Amino acid sequence: MTAAVGEHQGQIAVVTGAAQGLGLGIAQHLAQRGAEVVMVDRQGEKVTAAAAELTDTGLTVRAACADVTSSDQVHELFRDVAQQDGRIDILVNNAGLGQDVAAITELSDQHWQQVIDVTLTGTFFCCRSAGRWMRRRESGAIVNISSINGINPAALVAAYNVAKAGVISLTRTLALELAAYGVRVNAVCPGPVYTDFNRRVMSQRCESLGIEEDEMIERVRQAIPLGRWGQPSDIAHTVGFLSSPAAGWITGEVVRVSGGLEGVSAAPPKQPLPEDQP
Ligand SMILES: NC(=O)c1ccc[n+]([C@@H]2O[C@H](COP(=O)([O-])OP(=O)(O)OC[C@H]3O[C@@H](n4cnc5c(N)ncnc54)[C@H](O)[C@@H]3O)[C@@H](O)[C@H]2O)c1
């Protein structure tokens, strides 16, 4: 059994995109430090199973199925949490959607919108709803998961870069607007962590470069000054700190957690132009 003691004792935390990957690691970390965590994901069965596994280890978590792109579902989610638990102390906006690797000149309207909807608009919906509850209690901490791509864009994932840059601006704006109420808002920009999300992007980049996945993984590793890929726990520790009382005088900050990697330009070589375009 994992004893839940620590700086988040008795706090109510909501983590989006918590069925797997970084969100699951963040939910576990906060719960291990005493928070009661609501694990939100649109994959209902998967998040329920993940929550059950953490509960079996003695942690206090529960699953909630919601799609962050639905304004109504997000509104109901936070209303339900606030009614059941009396408050929301921590929100971690982690749900995000990677873009299929494609040049801006080839990017469809639909895929652009889909990535912006989940990654930026979903974060806005959750910030708006939780922000209202936190403002009323004059306390709370929001941590938004952006990316190093939000600071330094990589080629062929424009919608994702723009969405993550938007998350940084949203974070800094909300930090100003909620400061008078004692609510803190910060962003974390992870570097590469080998989750399902990254695996998909890597395999697409391998295809476009004509190299094997192992070679790509090694290239990325070598580009990281600290010489290794990140782990979900690397990100979770920073989120835990930013949402804890120890970070009580930190708001509007953007913290890169990337082994020193500032970004990857990944500019592609010149390609033959499609016949059906100017
Ligand atoms: N893995 C990395 O290398 C990396 C690097 C930088 C930033 N990030 C960011 O970290 C976050 C988590 O990444 P990950 O690698 O764990 O991704 P992941 O794809 O493994 O997990 C994302 C989770 O979000 C959920 N989700 C997606 N759309 C949703 C929606 N509309 N409503 C509710 N839940 C939804 C998915 O079901 C999934 O469980 C994302 O915002 C991602 O952009 C990841």
Using only the alpha carbons of the chain, give its radius of gyration: 19
Q: Are 26 and 92 in contact (CB under 8 A)?
A: yes
Ligand 1 centroid–CA 222 distance in Å is: 24
Decide: pTM greater than 0.85.
yes
What class, spelled out in words, does domain 12-189+230-257 have in CATH?
Answer: alpha beta
pLDDT of residue 271: 84
Residue 160 annotated as catalytic: yes
CB-ligand 1 contact for 147 (6 Å cutoff):
yes
Give per-10-residue mean pLDDT for the chain (278 aa).
72 98 98 98 98 98 98 98 97 98 96 98 99 98 98 97 99 98 98 94 86 92 98 98 97 98 91 86
pLDDT of residue 5: 62
118: which 2 tokens?
């989940």
CB-ligand 1 contact for 263 (6 Å cutoff):
no
Spot the catalytic one: 160, 165, 167, 206: 160
pLDDT of residue 195: 95
Residue of the CA atom closest to atom 13 of ligand 1? 22
CB-ligand 1 contact for 26 (6 Å cutoff):
no
pLDDT of residue 7: 93
Nearest atom within ligand 1 for CA of residue 22 = 16
Question: Looking up tokens 């209902």, which residue turns up?
Answer: 44
Any residues with CB less than 8 A from the CB of 83 and at least 6 apart, and which?
none
220: which 2 tokens?
């990325």
CB-ligand 1 contact for 59 (6 Å cutoff):
no
Query: Domain boundaries in the chain?
Result: 12-189+230-257
Q: In what order do the strands lie in the sheet with 254-257?
A: 61-65, 36-41, 12-16, 90-93, 140-145, 183-190, 254-257
- For 54, 99, 150, the CA distances from 156, given in Å and listed in that order, are 37, 9, 14
pLDDT of residue 274: 84
For residues 190 and 264, give the distance between their C-alpha atoms in angstroms, rounded to a whole number: 13
Nearest atom within ligand 1 for CA of residue 96 = 41
